[in-house]
Amino acid sequence: SQTIHQWPATLVQPVGSPLSLECTVEGTSNPNLYWYRQAAGRGLQLLFYSVGIGQISSEVPQNLSASRPQDRQFILSSKKLLLSDSGFYLCAWSRPGAYNEQFFGPGTRLTVL
Partner 1 sequence: QKEVEQDPGPLSVPEGAIVSLNCTYSNSAFQYFMWYRQYSRKGPELLMYTYSSGNKEDGRFTAQVDKSSKYISLFIRDSQPSDSATYLCAMSEYGNKLVFGAGTILRVKS
Residues making contact with partner 1 (CB under 8 A): 6, 41-44, 46, 49, 59, 88, 90, 99-107, 109
State which residue, 16 or 86, has the beta carbon closest to partner 1.
Answer: 86
Q: How many residues does the structure list for the chain?
A: 113
* Of the candidates 67, 48, 45, the residue with the CA atom closest to the CA atom of residue 59: 48
CA dist., res. 62 & res. 82, Å (int): 10
State which residue, 75 or 90, has the beta carbon closest to partner 1.
Answer: 90
Which residues is 103 bridged to in the sheet? 93
Q: How far is the CB of 7 from partner 1 (least distance, A)?
A: 13
Q: How far is the CB of 32 from partner 1 (least distance, A)?
A: 11
Q: How far is the CB of 2 from partner 1 (least distance, A)?
A: 12
The amino acid present at 111, given as its one-letter code, is: T
